[in-house]
Amino acid sequence: MPHSYSQLLQIIEHSIKSNPFKGKPENLYAPLNYILGLGGKRIRPVLALMSAELFSDSIENAIPAAMTVELFHNFSLIHDDIMDKAPLRRGKSTVHTKWDGPTAILSGDLMLVKSYEMLLRCEQKYWPSLLRIFNKTASEVCDGQQMDMNFETQESVSESDYLVMIKLKTSVLLGCSLMMGAIVADADDSNCTELYNFGVNLGMGFQLMDDYLDAFGTPELVGKQPGGDILSAKKTVMFIHTQKHEPNKLKSIVEDSSLTNQIKIESAKSLFIQTGADEYLKNIATNYFNQAVQNLKHISVNDFRKLELEKLLVYLQTRTK
Amino acid sequence: MPHSYSQLLQIIEHSIKSNPFKGKPENLYAPLNYILGLGGKRIRPVLALMSAELFSDSIENAIPAAMTVELFHNFSLIHDDIMDKAPLRRGKSTVHTKWDGPTAILSGDLMLVKSYEMLLRCEQKYWPSLLRIFNKTASEVCDGQQMDMNFETQESVSESDYLVMIKLKTSVLLGCSLMMGAIVADADDSNCTELYNFGVNLGMGFQLMDDYLDAFGTPELVGKQPGGDILSAKKTVMFIHTQKHEPNKLKSIVEDSSLTNQIKIESAKSLFIQTGADEYLKNIATNYFNQAVQNLKHISVNDFRKLELEKLLVYLQTRTK
């Protein structure tokens, strides 16, 4: 039987805890272990292992590939937090807050180098395919983050531009995780490509649901105050849709300094519902999830092996946190 | 006949100019071409090509290896300039000044990814050796930069710690450049190692002479105001030596707010001369250059092929800028 999500999560946690980074100067290496120790869903490495398990009964070989994407993801978290001036990550101080900006830049750089080192622990015969998709993805994630930053000061952003941005910033790394897991489990090219597309579509649905929950999630479940995107006037699909139907109304709510944050958030949410932005977004998300279902169908392995990926897909589509 | 430094420099400049980075968003890719266009000695890629030419009559195959180290070096320049809050680089605005901090972080990240992409343009059979030395070096350069930053706030720094720092921050990349050039020209392991050590020793001498010229170089030749290290009380070999022989004198000069910068610099230089710090430093540098000469002798190729590396060594030892 394939491992469940929580079993795979344990394998990843164990791998992280039993291989802490060691090196000098200590204040360069401590941030690496710190951010990796903050936990999280570990969705990327879990996807890599699930993907490997579609084709192989042993996931041992896929652990370095899984860790590669987790290290890369953590590199991007360290640097994104500096760029976004975020004080907290998972309720704890971000690296640049706990240490300082320069240390955060450099430990992020080191984490990126370490992700390449980790990739090279995979069997050498897989290097060309692994490096091809990993380099492409790494470069695209940078593109996506820059687009995201550019959008902040851009007067208007089209829905398609926003979708391209989240694809590059988030979804391609999920596709890459699945593809790398498949590669080291000797999947053929067609299955690798299908898994990549599955990951990208899953990632799109995942990020869109994240945007939905940022507005409509309950704080107790989400674990953070919702409404962050509303207060920063982030040009999400709901924002763009609402702008189209009620031009400037959203902006005037967010910019009205006589309103409390809570009232701004509630008013924006009412406006989202009024213009149908929430349902509009969920529709788009559903389309991506449905495409992911199709991708999964096309993967030529026994259906029982696909069970965990199917369960994950349903979970991501229906989650409330 | 092997190519001269200036011929190899032209080859590198041509390669940079004819392969500009293209991609979107534009403000992420423009900094890559901008910093690569600022020029410089290009010592790292030139070393890679010289190294390849010891063993091969064609340097065509070594260009991707040479470009890999140049891209990596430029990644480190972009990020170091942010960390050092440097407004200028080669007399032009630094990336984070011309654009902004977040764009500089991200374009540096992208440049690092691009350096790996460039490495993979080398013939696949060389990947394991190339990636091994490149990853090791990349990681060490981060260590060295963090040590350098830590030293700024550290009460005292030993001479041996300083030498370890410049080895990691600067010298190993010179060693790596030479080794990568040798690898893609099919040099055997013993020659590769000897060239690596040659590069590290050359790099140590190079950096120590840089420290010397920062104090004693003439502004017209060096192209920048000298004395930067003195004013920032950087714990160089001359600083450490002087501290040992005249404790606190140097510190009191630098911290005396009644003195102009020019007087501080002149007083510090007098103190260097008085304690013999300048000669002490030159001695250490000479030892490294002499070790490099020995390394070069041990490389088993015809002596006439070594001519350009010998000339470069003499130039670096006797340069006044």
Q: Tell me the pLDDT band of B321, cut-offs 50, 70 and 90.
A: confident
Percent pLDDT > 90 in chain B is: 93
Of A105, A113, A150, nearest to B83 by CB-CB distance is A105
Tell me how close the Cα of B256 comes to any Cα of chain A, in angstroms. 28
Which of B95, B109, B130, B141 to probe by mutation at the A interface, max A CB count within 10 Å?
Answer: B109
* Nearest-CB residue to A142 (from B106, B127, B139): B106
Closest chain A C-alpha to B9 CA, distance in angstroms: 28
Judged by CB atoms closer than 8 Å, whether chains meet at B131 and A116 is answered as yes
Burial of A284 (0-12, 13-18, 19+ CB in 10 A): middle
The residue of B27, B82, B116, B120 whose CB has the most chain A CBs within 10 angstroms, and thus the best one to mutate to test that interface, is B116
pLDDT at residue B225 tops 90: no
What are the pLDDT digits (tens) for A215-263?
999 876 666 678 999 999 999 999 999 999 998 899 899 999 999 999 9
Chain B interface with A: residues with Cβ < 8 Å: 23-25, 27-28, 75, 79, 82-83, 101-103, 105-110, 112-114, 116-117, 120, 124, 127-128, 131-132, 135, 138-139, 142-143, 145-147, 149-150
Distance CA B144, CA B142 (A): 5
Contacts for A206-211: CB closer than 8 Å, 24+ residues apart: A206/A43, A206/A170, A206/A171, A206/A174, A206/A316, A207/A166, A207/A170, A207/A171, A208/A166, A208/A237, A208/A281, A208/A282, A208/A284, A208/A285, A208/A288, A209/A285, A209/A316, A209/A317, A209/A319, A211/A236, A211/A237, A211/A238, A211/A281
CB atoms within 10 A of CB A97: 17
Can you give the pLDDT at residue B166?
A: 98
Per-residue pLDDT reduced to its tens digit, A62-93 = 999 999 999 999 999 999 999 999 999 999 99
The verdict on a CB contact (< 8 Å) between A113 and B135 is: yes
Instruction: Give counts: helices (H), strands (E), chain B.
Output: 17, 2
- Amino acid A131: pLDDT: 97
Token pair listed for B55:
């063993």
- Residue B9 pLDDT > 70, yes or no? yes
Reference B138, options B176, B192, B188; nearest CA is: B176
Residue B118: closest CA among chain A residues belongs to which residue? A135
The 10s digit of each residue's pLDDT in A263-311 is: 999 999 999 999 999 999 999 999 999 999 999 999 999 999 999 999 9
In terms of Cβ atoms closer than 10 Å to its own Cβ (0-12, 13-18, 19+), residue B295 is: buried
**pLDDT higher than threshold 90 for residue B218:** no
Nearest to B82 among A75, A105, A128 (CB): A105
Strand blocks (E) in chain A: 88-89, 92-93
Residue B320: pLDDT band with limits 50, 70, 90: confident
User: How much is the pLDDT for A13?
Assistant: 98
Is the CB of residue A52 less than 8 Å from the CB of residue A59?
yes
Q: In chain B, which residue's Cα lies nearest the Cα of A27?
A: B146
Predicted pLDDT at B248 = 87
Q: Given pLDDT bands bounded at 50, 70 and 90, which one contains residue A319?
A: confident
Q: Which residue of A has its CA nearest to B151?
A: A25
**What share of chain A has pLDDT > 90, as a percent?**
93
> ipTM, 2 decimals?
0.96
Comparing CB atoms, the residue among A25, A117, A127 nearest residue B135 is: A117
Q: How far is the C-alpha of A101 from the C-alpha of A86, rounded, in Å?
A: 12
Domain boundaries, chain A: 5-318
Interface contact A135-B142, CB threshold 8 A: no
Just give the CATH number of A5-318.
1.10.600.10
Torsion-angle region of B21 (φ positive above 0: left; ψ -120 to 50: alpha; else: beta): beta
Chain centre to alpha carbon of residue A282:
18
Of B106, B135, B150, the CB nearest to A116: B135
Mean per-residue pLDDT for B245-273? 94
B175 pLDDT higher than 80: yes
pLDDT score recorded for residue A221: 62
The number of CA neighbours under 13 Å toward the Cβ of B142 is 26
Distance from CA of B307 to the nearest CA of A (A): 35
- Residue labelled with tokens 């990550």: A89
pLDDT digit string, tens, across residues B111-154: 999 999 999 999 999 999 999 999 999 999 999 999 999 999 99
- Find which of B142, B173, B176 to mutate to test the A interface (most A CBs within 10 Å of its CB): B142
pLDDT of residue B224: 66
**Sequence-ordered list of residues with C-beta below 8 angstroms from that of A153, at least 6 positions apart, any chain:** none
DSSP states of B55-119: H-S--GGGHHHHHHHHHHHHHHHHHHHHHTT-SEETTEE-HHHHS-HHHHHHHHHHHHHHHHHHH
How high is the mean pLDDT of chain B?
96
In terms of CA atoms, which chain A residue is nearest residue B144?
A25
A chain contacts of residue B127, beta-carbon cutoff 8 Å: 127
Q: Is A181 a residue whose pLDDT tops 90?
A: yes
CB contact under 8 A, A113 and B106: no
Percent of chain A at pLDDT > 70 equals: 98
> For position A222, what pLDDT does the model report?
60
| Residue A83 with chain B: CB contacts under 8 Å | 101-102, 105-106
Whole-number pLDDT of residue A209:
96
Nearest CB to A110: which of B75, B132, B139?
Answer: B139
Mutate to test the interface with B, among A68, A100, A105 (most CBs of B within 10 A): A105
Cα gap A7→B29, rounded to integer Å: 41
A246, HSE (Cβ side, Cα atoms, 13 Å): 17
